[in-house]
Every structure is written in structure tokens, then in C-alpha cells.
Structure 1
Amino acid sequence: MPLDPAAKAVIEMAEPYFPRLGTEVLDATEARRILAAQPQPEAEPVPVARLEDRRLPGPAGAPEVPVRMYWPAEEATDLPVVIFCHGGGWVLCDLDTHDRTCRAMSNATGAIVVSVDYRKAPEHRFPAAVDDTYAVFSWVTGHAAGLGGDPARIAVAGDSAGGNLAAALTLMARDRSGPMPRFQLLVYPVLDHAQDTASYRENALGYFTTADHLRWYWQQYLGEEGDGTHPYASPLRAVDLAGLPPAHIVTAEYDPLRDEGEAYGRRLRQAGVEAEVQRYDGVVHGFFGMSGQLTAAGAASTAAYAALRAALARGTEATS
């Protein structure tokens, strides 16, 4: 369908403030400065019962990992838990940029949400971000009860590069024969460094997130020596996807990443893993967090949070 007029308006409003990554802006520090200077819409934070910033143990020999925890109810026990990984190409964004999403997720799912401020590239290249994310997941599985959570009901979620980390975390958990998340929510995830799909060509320019942006992100994340074929970098390239948790995957019609997200859903199903893929037509990468501007964003978040809530309900079991 044609590009949603509201999405087009968002693109036109945001483009003057978004750095031309990979062409005019090559330095990550400068890109972060430009994004931080963007005018932010004035909006009251979505209320949650409790919020706490903490630092959790990182991987062996690495620094502690900052996290932000959200509780949907005071003094609750045995709540489900969602480990959330924010997007931003492994380079940009932080706990604050995705704060509103995490608040909405906690309230809509009735879960404690643990948002991970993993180490960023290019200062810390692959696999630092996924190692941090796995370290947080491991800590939460061992300490969930102390947070008021249920260690048997933990999911992972992420958008864009955060979706990449969430998917990689499930592969790492399976490969290490450790605790496994019950569910994975992947919102327009980055899943393959090859960048050679039809959607990359069709949506390379003009839809906010461009092929140049994504190419630059991969360069920052992998550097000159990084192995983009490694399944923890490119989960779509994993030889075997059997034994992973069920998934809900969100894609956008006008997104270079559309095809790899949908291909991942097909491969999960072929491996015997339950996977639902929801494409939202007329919208672009990044639309999920625009519920105040785009009808599709409200529909996507409602469906995604309903899938999370159902998967984490007491008495349900992960299937694969």
C-alpha cells in the first residue's frame, strides 16, 4: 500500500535532525551529539508502579551493565519478566530513548521489564553487546524472585539492533544449555549482515532508515575484523534454529530490514518453532514507538504485548 501520510509527515519532520550516517556523518560521537540535540516532544511519562536504575554484573572481566527496571504493580510477587534490548544500530540510543516503550510494555503485559544499557560500538564491538545482554539475562534468571519475578516466566524483546541481540541471546542460551527464555519479541530486527534482500533494494532511500545507515551500523559493530557470518552477529545465518523459544516478529513494509525479519520467521517455523510474523503496511522502520502519531503503531504494540502476555501467563509452556 502507499506510504501512510502520517508516516511521511514523521519522516519529513525528523530527517533534518537525523544524521546522514555513512555519508556525511562517520563519527559515532558526532552522531550521538546530533541525535541528542533533536527537539523532543513534550509528554508526561507513562506512570508505572516503580522504577529503579541498577548496575548488574557483566561478563567475566567486563564492567557492570546499567539497567533500568520497571514494575507494573507495587509489592507484587511471581510476576513475569521481560529483558528488553533497545535499538540504535548498536551505536546510538540508551535507556532514556526507549523509556516510554518500556513503561508501556510493563503496564500492558503485567511484567517486570529490565531494559539493558549494553556497551556500544565502535568503542565496544561485537560480541560485547550480546555478551552484556546475556549476562543480564543470566543474573535475572538467578535473582528473579528477589525482584518479585518468576524465574520460570522470562522473555526477551528488542527493536532493530535490540531485536538482533534478543534473537542472539536465545541462540546463546540454547548453545550453552542454560535457562531458556520462554518467548522472544523481535520488532523489525537486524538479522543478517549480508544486506542483500529485495527490501534492502526497494527501501534503500527515502524511508527514514536507509541502506547507508544500516551499512554504517554494521561497520561500527563489526569493525574490520568482526565475523558477520557468526550466528550471534547474524542470527539468520545460524545453521539450526531448533530448540528456540516461540517468537512474535514485527516488520514494516517500507523497511530495508523487512525481508530478513520475515525470513527468520519462516526459518523458525521450518525448525519446528512457533513463530508469528506481523507485517504492517504503509509504515517505516521505527514506527513501533510512534503510537501517538501512527495508527499502525498502536495496533502493532497492542498485538505484540498481547502475544507477550499470553506467552508469559501462568500455566503456559514454551513450545518448540
Structure 2
Amino acid sequence: MATTLDQGLGQSTVPRLCIEEVRITGHAQPIVLRSYRPASDGTVLPIVLYFHGGGFTKGTLDDAEIAAATIARDTPAWVVSVGYSLAPEFPFPAAPEDGYRAAQWAVAHARAQRADPHRIGVAGHDAGGNLATCIAAIARDRGDIVISAQALLAPLLDPSMTRLADERKVTGSDLGMSECARCYRAYLPSASQRLHPYAAPLESRRLVGLPPALIASAEHDLLHIEAEKYAGELIAAGIPTEVTRHCKASHHGLATHPGALHDVVAFFKKRLSRAK
């Protein structure tokens, strides 16, 4: 599938996006990637892999549409939105391994897309935030791909659920403890998996070498404490990290929050710019 869309209310100064889908071999099944590429002006683009939310058990490429298109248009960047495998049918490690295969595919096809395989960022919301930072860790450990930046929006980081905010003190939350628990049980059916560094980044003692991070949390979200705790752990490990709590924002709403996406774009512009 290939379409070309005008973004930004049809303003002529806003670049058009070419949107295409491709099916690739995933870890346990074929997966679909959706590519967002600004109309070419000769500039070599950075690459951003984007992972939708849905608690590891649901969510689609359509859920990522606003974030992926915004990042592609405004950075600008070649954005690859990843339709990773979902639990419980495909539990850990299918999703992060799918994400890593998507990264390998993007690197292999970068030249054809006028993109730079040495300037790669990862981003995601909710479970997608977990996958983004875990794929950065996988890339660090395997050494064949270099991830230069990670942007996490209301990420799920702690399968132990011991850093959640008090439900009685967080007003307007649209994500409850019971839903979190259900998602983690489906994604990590074995208790031992809930400490694996590629599934539970907040439990990892190996954060050194991860890329610079932007972490966005939401005021009306039980997960804002673990997101901010992870930012502190990254800073302690020497990782350049920015963290912002968005007032009046909810967990699910952060995926399309204009302020949060503006910050993501600014972060990628800074971290994925051409070397001077």
C-alpha cells in the first residue's frame, strides 16, 4: 500500500508524507511496518522507529498515526511504525525481537529511502515505550546497530508494579492497576521473565551505554512515578536524560498530546542532527 498525504490542514508550506506498508519476517510471524517519509528535497533523513501502545496485548498501526506522522513531518525523519506481535498469542520476547528486526530492515533499506543508518532514534507510547528502550538495550548488546536517541511517552517499565502511584491520589487516571496487571501477565507469563532487562528496564542494572533519553510522563497517570524513576536511573548511569511531566494529561492521551509530541520532535532534531 502506498499513499501520499498532505499534513497540517493542507498548508502548502507543510511537506507531504509518502506512507507505505511492507510485510517483513518477524520473530514468530510476519509483521507489518508502516513507513512515513517526507517528500524528498535531497536531504538525507534520520530514521525513527515508532512503537504503538496497547499494553502489549492490543493496539494497531492506526493508533500510532498521529505521533508517527508528526515526527516524520516536523523533524523531518523517515519514520517506521512497527506492527509488532501481541500477547498472549505471542508473549515476550516476540515483540522486542520484532522491533529489532524492524530496525535491521530499516538499516538495510536506508539508502533507498535517502535515510542515514547511522542516525537512528526509537520512540513509543505505553508498551511501545518499553519496547523502544529495550530495543535500544538489545542494539547496545548485539553491536550491529547503533541507536542514538530514545523518546518514551508514558512508558510501561516495571512489571513488578511496585512503583505505581497511589490510585487514591491520582485523579482522572484512565489506566488502572488491574489493567496493568492483566497486560503484564499476558506478556510475561513466566515470573522469571519479569526481571529480564529486555522486559523490565526499571529493574536493569545495565543502563550504561544506552542512548540519550527523553521521558514524558502524565499528571493523571499511575505510571508517572516509574517513568520519572527510570529517568533518575538513567541520569545516575550517566545517560543524558530529559524528563517532563505534562499537566492535565492522561496516560492514553499522552500518545497524541501536542506538547509531548513537540518535545519529541525537538529532541530528535537535536539528537539526530548531522554531525558537525
TM-score computed with the length of structure 1 as normaliser:
0.78
Taking a change above 3 Å as real, the CA distance of residues 200 and 139 of structure 1, as seen in their structure-2 partners, is: farther
SS state of the match for residue 96, structure 1?
helix
Q: CA deviation at 1:142?
A: 2.7
CA distance in 2, matches of 1:58, 1:203: 41
Structure 1, unaligned runs of 5 or more: 1-43, 291-296
Contact 1:54 1:67 in 2 (8 A): yes
- From 47, 53, 57, give the equivalent of 2:25: 57
Letter of the 1:97 partner, please give it.
D
User: How big is each residue's C-alpha offset from its partner over 1:144-185, in whole Å with a ceiling of 9 and x where there is no partner?
Assistant: 112221111110000010000001001111111222211000
CA distance in 2, matches of 1:193, 1:204: 20
1:314 equivalent in structure 2: 274
Letter of the 2:265 partner, please give it.
Y
CA distance in 2, matches of 1:196, 1:204: 16
CA distance in 1, matches of 2:144, 2:230: 23
1:104 equivalent in structure 2: 70
User: How big is each residue's C-alpha offset from its partner over 1:103-135, in whole Å with a ceiling of 9 and x where there is no partner?
Assistant: 111111100100000000011001100110011
SS state of the match for residue 227, structure 1?
helix
Q: CA deviation at 1:282?
A: 2.5
Q: CA deviation at 1:75?
A: 6.1
**Superposition map of 1:163-182 within 5 A:** 163-182=129-148
Taking a change above 3 Å as real, the CA distance of residues 200 and 180 of structure 1, as seen in their structure-2 partners, is: farther
Worse overlay, 204-213 or 263-272: 204-213
1:23 equivalent in structure 2: none
Letter of the 2:20 partner, please give it.
E
CA distance in 2, matches of 1:201, 1:274: 31
CA distance in 2, matches of 1:126, 1:237: 16
1:186 equivalent in structure 2: 152
Taking a change above 3 Å as real, the CA distance of residues 205 and 300 of structure 1, as seen in their structure-2 partners, is: closer
> What is the aligned length?
265
The two structures, once aligned, show a CA RMSD in angstroms of 2.0
- From 253, 262, 269, give the equivalent of 1:302: 262
User: If you compute each CA radius of gyration, which structure gives the higher value, 1 or 2?
Assistant: 1
Q: CA deviation at 1:204?
A: 7.1
Contact 2:172 2:220 in 1 (8 A): no
1:88 equivalent in structure 2: 54
CA distance in 1, matches of 2:218, 2:168: 13
User: How big is each residue's C-alpha offset from its partner over 1:284-304, in whole Å with a ceiling of 9 and x where there is no partner?
Assistant: 1022244xxxxxx22221122
Letter of the 1:46 partner, please give it.
Q
**Superposition map of 1:103-182 within 5 A:** 103-182=69-148
Identity %: 35
CA distance in 2, matches of 1:283, 1:311: 25
Q: CA deviation at 1:102?
A: 1.1
Q: CA deviation at 1:93?
A: 1.1
CA distance in 2, matches of 1:184, 1:310: 12
CA distance in 2, matches of 1:196, 1:175: 27
Which one has a larger percent strand, Structure 1 or Structure 2? Answer: 2
1:280 equivalent in structure 2: 246
CA distance in 2, matches of 1:114, 1:212: 32
**Superposition map of 1:36-51 within 5 A:** 46=7, 48-51=16-19
Contact 1:46 1:100 in 2 (8 A): no
CA distance in 2, matches of 1:102, 1:227: 30
CA distance in 2, matches of 1:217, 1:164: 13
**2:202 matched to 1:245?**
no
User: How big is each residue's C-alpha offset from its partner over 1:254-297, in whole Å with a ceiling of 9 and x where there is no partner?
Assistant: 2111111111111111111100001112321022244xxxxxx2
Letter of the 1:185 partner, please give it.
A
